[in-house]
Each structure stands twice: as structure tokens, then as C-alpha cells.
Structure 1
Amino acid sequence: MSQHDNEVKRVLAVFAHPDDIDFGAAGTIATWTDAGIEVAYLLVTRGDAGGFDDTPREEMPRIREAEQRAAAAAVGVSDVAFLDGHQDGAVYVTHQLRRDITRRIREFRPDRVLTNSPVRDWSRLGGPNHPDHQAVGQATTYAVYPDARNPFAHTDLGLDAWTVPEVWYSGCPEPDHYVDVTDTFERKVTALRAHASQLTDPDATVAFMRDRFTELGRTAGFGEGRIAEAFAIARD
């Protein structure tokens, strides 16, 4: 069972690449910011291995960072940070990554963390199954427990320990919680369209996402035509 949103003041979203948040959770984030919850983003990479055209590789991190900031603004988020030292396509669960995420948790002191699923969906190859996603989901989970809450871990950070009560996972093969995002879906679409460098056919992507998340609305029992995003939640 999740905390009620009225118990939550701050949410930290930790994801592998620009656009991960927007494909899986932007509608939910818009509902949170509308409710007065402060949301911050932490992106582990700048998505330098993304794109589909001949854009110079050295330009891609700058482009994707700007796209993510525009997408965040569409759902009411202005606090967007990127880690250095972690390469798109080569993210691993290292002590350094756990330390980097722990630093942000202790600085921001969130009541909820949202992240990539650490669990692979064996029913398909693509979708949320990028290995960077699983690595970030695992590293974030370890940063929440045991790292951030342990005053004797990462003492060199000089930051007080912080306990996060719950973690929400986006892209899990077996979700256990659904959020009705019908009223915020168009803002999700705006956020998705901000990632222009990653969309070969934006209209087709939006149509697919509308169908996909409408089906989740049916699964959740929200009623015909309602749209939902899905998560798995781990709590203390």
C-alpha cells in the first residue's frame, strides 16, 4: 500500500536517460505537482547514445538535456539534475553510482522515490528492458536501503542520513498500483514530444502510448476511456 499523496511533500525521480520519466510516469508526476508536491529529477546519463540521425555525437548530450528540461517544465518540474561520469549504454551498479544517488537523496530528503524497474520483463525484448534501466533501478534501491539511511555509509558526503519510506518502480512487468492520468495525459504528450531527437514519428508514438495507457486504465478498472500509468511499490 502506498502513502497517501497528502502525506508526501517531496518526490525524487531517478532515471537512466532523458525521456524515461516521460514515457512511463509523466502523467503521474503532473498529478503530483498539481497537488502541490515538489518533484525533482535526477538523470544518471545525458542519453548520449540516443537518436536516429546523423546529429554529431558530441552534440547529443546538450540536445537531450535541453529536451528533458522542456519536458519537465510541461509537468510542473523545474529541478532537473544530471550526473557526470556515467555513460549511456554502460551504466552499472557500482559503489560510485550508489554514492551519487545517495548524495541527492540526502540533499533533497524525499518522502518517495520514483525510478526505473530493476526487473526485466521477459515477455518482450524492448520497452523498459534497457540494461541501464535495470542498473539504475537496482542502484537507486540500494541507495534508498541501506545507503542513504545509514549514518555510517558514505560519510565523506558530509550529509545527514535520510530514510525514504517508499520506492515506486516504473516499467515493472507486474505492477500493483495504478494512477488515473486521464486529466494530465495531454501534458504527458507535450512532455513526450519535447524529446524530438528520439522520435522518428511523433504522432505514431503518441497514438501507441494513448492505446497502451488506455489499456492500463481498463486493467485498473478506472472505466472505459480512462487512462492510467502503472507502478510497483516497495515500502518499509
Structure 2
Amino acid sequence: MTTSSGRFQRALVVTAHPDDVDFGSAGTVASWVAAGADVTYCICTSGDAGGFDSTPREDVPRLRQNEQRAAAAAVGVTDVRFLGYQDGQVVADLRLRRDIAKVIRDVRPDRVITHSPEINWAHLAVSHPDHRAVGEAVLAAVYPDARNAFAFPELLEAGFEPWTVGELWMSESPEERINRAVDITDQFNAKLAALAAHRSQTAHLTDLPDRIRRHLTRTAERHGMTGRLAEAFHVVDTS
């Protein structure tokens, strides 16, 4: 198990919905920003199928985009992009792969965080079909699409030069895949602030801080970091 996150310059986080990054990796992102890295968020949908109140459906996308921007600001991220796919209907098709490859070529990140494309049978709730579809599309966009000049030639014609991502970090992976834990004890309050920004999703969860702390404590203990709080990932060298 590797616990250090290393030094790098740029990272891209690609998720299915607003709030996914904050539940899965906001503490890690906050630690990277604090260390001087530039981080960009790419959210594939606007979370239009989410919510637990009477907000009119037509207002939900704008609301959740604003919540995600506020959550990003809580951990020091200012570049937040939305691809506009339909919440609950995401598939890992060529259009999604192209759109993600375009963002990769534009941002040119050293690391990409996304969802695992695998089903986590021990925690099925994290394996939303949109999550797995985005994870699969990101994997294909990282290798081979973003680095292959002959994939999606329209991107090259538009000036988006090929780019090779060095590492792929996947959250929500089955436990047997996990090979990296990040100590986020010092970033815990920033993670809670990011989650609180998603009021349409979290305001009714009065015990959320305690639930998150328990989860992060168990994660840290499983990976030899007793007394700390940690987020865990399956990290693959994609250079």
C-alpha cells in the first residue's frame, strides 16, 4: 500500500454527477491544491435527476451546477466544466469518449481521477450505472483516445494536441483493487464544507459529518493509518 501522493502539476477529475467528487475525493483534491497543483473538474451531467425537495425540475441543473462550483471553491478549485449529458442515461459511447478526450487534451493533466468502471459488490450504492459508464469512458479516453493523434481527428483539426496522462486514480473500486490511500485528516473540514455546499443533496442528512468521519476512519485503519482519516483509490500507471 502506497500512502504518499507525490509531486505533480495538474490533475483532472471526471465524474458523473455534481457531488460525486466531494463524496469520493474532495479531501485528496484539497491536499493537492494545498501542495500547489492545478485541478480541473469535469462533470458529465448536471445532476438533473437528483434532489430531495420541491425544487422545480427545470431549475435543478442550474442549482446543482452552482452547488458544485461552490463545493469546488471550498477545496480551492476554480475550473469547473459541465458536459451536459442526461443524468441517469450516461453510456460509455464514442461521443462521451471524444468529449472527455477533448478535455484531457485541453487540460493536459498528469493525473486523472474518475469512478471505477467495476461493480463494487460490497458497496453497491457507489456503483451507479452513470458512475461505471463514466469510469469506462474515461479509461478509454486516457488510453488510447487522448494520446492517439488519429483518434477523433476533428479534435486535432481544432487544435487539441494529443496528451498522455501519467496516472489514473479510480474511486469506489472494489477493496481488492485499492493500492493507494491518501491521509486527508488535515483536509477533513474542507471536505465537509464541499459536501455542505450541495444543499439540495445533503441538507437533510443531519448526521452526515459523523457518517463521513466514520467511513474515513475505517478506510484509514484498513490501510495502516490508525488514528487518521483517509480516502482510497485504485491507481494505475498509464504513462
TM over 0.5: yes
Which secondary structure state, in structure 2, belongs to the residue aligned with residue 229 of structure 1?
strand
1:201: how far off? 2.8
Equivalent residue pairs, number:
232
Q: Which residue of 2 aligns with 1:129?
A: 127
Instruction: Report the TM-score when normalising by structure 1.
Output: 0.95
Q: Which residue of 1 aligns with 2:83?
A: 83
1:231 aligns with 2:233: yes
1:125: how far off? 3.2
Amino acid at match of 1:146: P
1:162 aligns with 2:163: yes
Which secondary structure state, in structure 1, belongs to the residue aligned with residue 127 of structure 2?
coil
Which secondary structure state, in structure 2, belongs to the residue aligned with residue 27 of structure 1?
helix
Q: Gaps spanning 5+ residues in structure 2: where?
A: none
- 2: CA distance between counterparts of 1:200 and 1:76? 22
Q: Which residue of 2 aligns with 1:146?
A: 144
2:5/2:182 contact within 8 Å kept: no
- 1: CA distance between counterparts of 2:95 and 2:237? 25
Which secondary structure state, in structure 1, belongs to the residue aligned with residue 119 of structure 2?
coil
- 1: CA distance between counterparts of 2:97 and 2:124? 27
- 2: CA distance between counterparts of 1:109 and 1:2? 25
Amino acid at match of 2:187: T
Q: Percent identity?
A: 51
Which secondary structure state, in structure 1, belongs to the residue aligned with residue 134 of structure 2?
helix
1:202 aligns with 2:205: yes
Q: Which residue of 2 aligns with 1:50?
A: 50
**Alignment RMSD (CA, Å):** 1.4
Q: How does 1:1-236 map to 2 (within 5 A)?
A: 5-6=6-7, 8-84=8-84, 86-126=85-125, 128-157=126-155, 158=158, 159-174=160-175, 175-224=178-227, 226-236=228-238
1:2/1:166 contact within 8 Å kept: no
- 2: CA distance between counterparts of 1:29 and 1:108? 16
- 2: CA distance between counterparts of 1:203 and 1:210? 13
Q: Gaps spanning 5+ residues in structure 1: where?
A: none
